[in-house]
Structure 1
């Protein structure tokens, strides 16, 4: 335990704060410039918030542009280290609200940003090379307790651990998913021909498993650290180019600073910084480690395995999919028809779903059980406001990894009256055995 509190050079944490703040600003300003904010917050009549957070809806008009611009400014303040904890806390709150507010464009790195923001609030990342340290010289320090690097390494290790475990399923192991993923990915026929080769998409599948499984141990071991970093650089740049997944590849790469000796990071990024000579353990904020980080990491280990205790295959039901680091694992497509019945007259009521949803939202309610349930509840409330009590029946068929379509939702269940089970299987989601037969 004493080793956790031994002082080490704080250069890795300081440079990570600078990288991190820049990436926060790039993510939020980029969301405005690329049209992401317009597509997900301005254009829709409403957003599919996370269940239980339906009251969170976008600001009216162009308010979300100002909202994201504010987050961009806060990211810059984090990078500069000005009122660091206030700036990062404000960003964390605003970003978390954004995350809860919409899931049509769900991405694992949006969740990852929340977690790392939360961790960084408790770390002394503004004690050097910051406006805070310049304005308040008494807070300036060259060191941090060893556990500060440890929590960052543990967080990224958890991500890679569960990313590895989730790939051990048939469609990944036989290359089905990677083959589909690489189809029509390159405008150059020669490159696309390589992508179409079985050896190549199997290589991508198994190198993905190997990378996720070995990258953290190899970064921890001095003899393989540089090789691992080069492999990480190639892997993430390939993903950035072919998959176009925003800042996540660069975000993941920035964690490498915690695996190298702090003195090496100091020599690389802070050449004028004095050499650390402290040797006494640093017990400040000891309670943070025991009362925040230990429970925090227990939760981080439990959340990704919760789907193992829910009936059905998570690839099919989506129950327990989010918050479990199941990244880029499957393709999903489907179609849904909503039938609204007036309970009093027993007659169907015409309802134009297309006029209510954006194209992206329409695709979501085509194959996502939670979105189908939420839209059914919204339809029920819409007609209740007109004095009508309605039933909503859904005929939904879904394909996983371009395999044959199967019925997802029980067509005999009134989805307007159905309950949502947060922790266990929802019985209105149909289940199938390994041979594709419906489980009664």
Structure 2
């Protein structure tokens, strides 16, 4: 009972709304920038319209891209929703619209999975429930009764918690022999900068790779705690800026560094946010109405927050139910905040074979997949299996020509010869051509047909 009371007291302690308002504006701007960048780079056509096949997530096979130029519609919705979040206009609707449109796009094809896309979906989901429009918003202008200067602490806490989850689990994931004892894959990646003037030779040295590996592990494991303490917050945020700008300069990871740099401002107190919110409100002639908030403790809120926290803590550990090397089979790898942990490349050749005559044809992967899809598929077992099933369905009940013979396939055998290299190891056989992939089910069970990693 004592723990429950302290938990309730903590969640419903009265605090200023300023950090939440600042977070709404900043994250909305990042949402808008990312969407416009995606459209301007031509990625909608390249990633979702052109490829004839998409790697859906298990249980979400029913989600399909909209036909042709209709695929631009979700991105238009994302722009509208981002503006609604920034200005607090029809805020609940805007948050729901952004979450649904963004998550829909992300579920279309796991070839394009990134940790920061998953993070954006979670943040968009949380925004739906947070009173981030209760001050300095069009909604508050239209309905002054919703204006609040203070709120319960739980909305700000849950955002800080989610950011802490990203960092801490990224740090936990780095506690492995490849990262700490071999400085891999950083040692390989940094070799690409050998020709840079002044710093190239330095970056290419092994000891720098080891320093980066150990520092980044320590950074991820500790930075949320340093940001949470007033005495260490400023220096910790300095390291946030340096760390993420450095990774942005060295590696092609898109807007993720900027998302983390600006999102972590939620750890700063209300006085920090008011330093730029107050001049902005004055410039826009915003008149704040002083309203008192009677904070009532809600058991449903406590229950939902507790469930959310437990789920976020458990999902990254689901890999423990699978045997063997996680980086090799990647079962439980996604949605666990494993950021830039491995260099894994594969080469996959698929064959469609007649079971009776043993005649076969070799598949040209690029006939059905984009370069990025091929790159991702060639090293991820679930995607290899999905593509094999796609080929089996495509060639079922068709006639193929094997030399001078014509054979009608009813249930063809589909196999793949796959070789993969992981973190600098030599190429190893990943999938044997002897395996009939049409006989393997696509589910969450351990895939025994993956050949084991040779240490």
**TM over 0.5, shorter chain:** yes
- Following superposition, the deviation at residue 241 of structure 1 comes to 2.0
Q: State how far apart, in whole Å, the 1-side matches of 2:263 and 2:376 are.
A: 33
User: Once the two structures are superposed, what CA deviation does each residue of 1:377-418 show, in whole Å capped at 9, x if it has no partner?
Assistant: 101111225363111111111100121111112432210121
Q: Residues 182-193 of structure 1 correspond to what in structure 2 (within 5 A)?
A: 182-185=190-193, 188-193=196-201
- Greater Cα offset, 267-276 or 363-372: 267-276
- The reply on whether 1:394 has 2:412 as its aligned counterpart is no
- Residues 81/207 of structure 1: CA separation in 2 closer, same or farther (3 Å cut): same
Residue matched to 1:316: 328
Residue matched to 1:126: 133
User: Once the two structures are superposed, what CA deviation does each residue of 1:298-320 show, in whole Å capped at 9, x if it has no partner?
Assistant: 11111100101211111100100
- Structure 2 residues not aligned, in runs of 5+: 1-7, 399-408
- The reply on whether 1:8 has 2:15 as its aligned counterpart is yes
Q: How many residues are paired up? A: 432
- Following superposition, the deviation at residue 117 of structure 1 comes to 0.8
- Following superposition, the deviation at residue 187 of structure 1 comes to 6.3
- The reply on whether 1:371 has 2:383 as its aligned counterpart is yes
SS of the counterpart of 1:328? coil
Please give the TM-score of this superposition, normalised by the length of structure 2: 0.90
Structure 2 contact 419–428 (Cα < 8 Å) conserved: yes
Residue matched to 2:257: 249
- Following superposition, the deviation at residue 230 of structure 1 comes to 0.5
Structure 2 contact 397–411 (Cα < 8 Å) conserved: no
- Following superposition, the deviation at residue 289 of structure 1 comes to 2.5
SS of the counterpart of 1:431? coil
Q: State how far apart, in whole Å, the 2-side matches of 1:159 and 1:68 are.
A: 26
- The reply on whether 1:151 has 2:173 as its aligned counterpart is no
- Aligned partner (choices 308, 318, 337) of residue 325 of structure 1: 337
- Aligned partner (choices 431, 442, 449) of residue 428 of structure 1: 449
Q: State how far apart, in whole Å, the 2-side matches of 1:202 and 1:402 are.
A: 15
- Residues 278/217 of structure 1: CA separation in 2 closer, same or farther (3 Å cut): farther
- Residues 335/58 of structure 1: CA separation in 2 closer, same or farther (3 Å cut): same
SS of the counterpart of 1:399? strand
- Following superposition, the deviation at residue 211 of structure 1 comes to 0.9
Q: State how far apart, in whole Å, the 2-side matches of 1:4 and 1:290 are.
A: 8
Residue matched to 1:194: 202
Residue matched to 1:36: 43
Residue matched to 1:76: 83
- Residues 396/228 of structure 1: CA separation in 2 closer, same or farther (3 Å cut): same
- Following superposition, the deviation at residue 168 of structure 1 comes to 1.1
- Following superposition, the deviation at residue 292 of structure 1 comes to 2.0
Q: State how far apart, in whole Å, the 2-side matches of 1:349 and 1:189 are.
A: 50
Structure 1 contact 145–281 (Cα < 8 Å) conserved: no
For the aligned residue pairs, the C-alpha RMSD in angstroms reads 2.1
Residue matched to 2:68: 61
Please give the TM-score of this superposition, normalised by the length of structure 1: 0.93
Structure 1 contact 9–144 (Cα < 8 Å) conserved: yes
- Greater Cα offset, 7-16 or 351-360: 351-360
Residue matched to 1:283: 296
Residue matched to 1:296: 308
- Following superposition, the deviation at residue 347 of structure 1 comes to 1.9
Q: State how far apart, in whole Å, the 2-side matches of 1:4 and 1:159 are.
A: 21
- Residues 153/210 of structure 1: CA separation in 2 closer, same or farther (3 Å cut): same
- Following superposition, the deviation at residue 257 of structure 1 comes to 2.9
- Aligned partner (choices 135, 148, 152) of residue 141 of structure 1: 148
- Following superposition, the deviation at residue 352 of structure 1 comes to 3.0
- Following superposition, the deviation at residue 240 of structure 1 comes to 1.9
- Aligned partner (choices 267, 279, 285) of residue 275 of structure 2: 267
- Residues 287/93 of structure 1: CA separation in 2 closer, same or farther (3 Å cut): farther
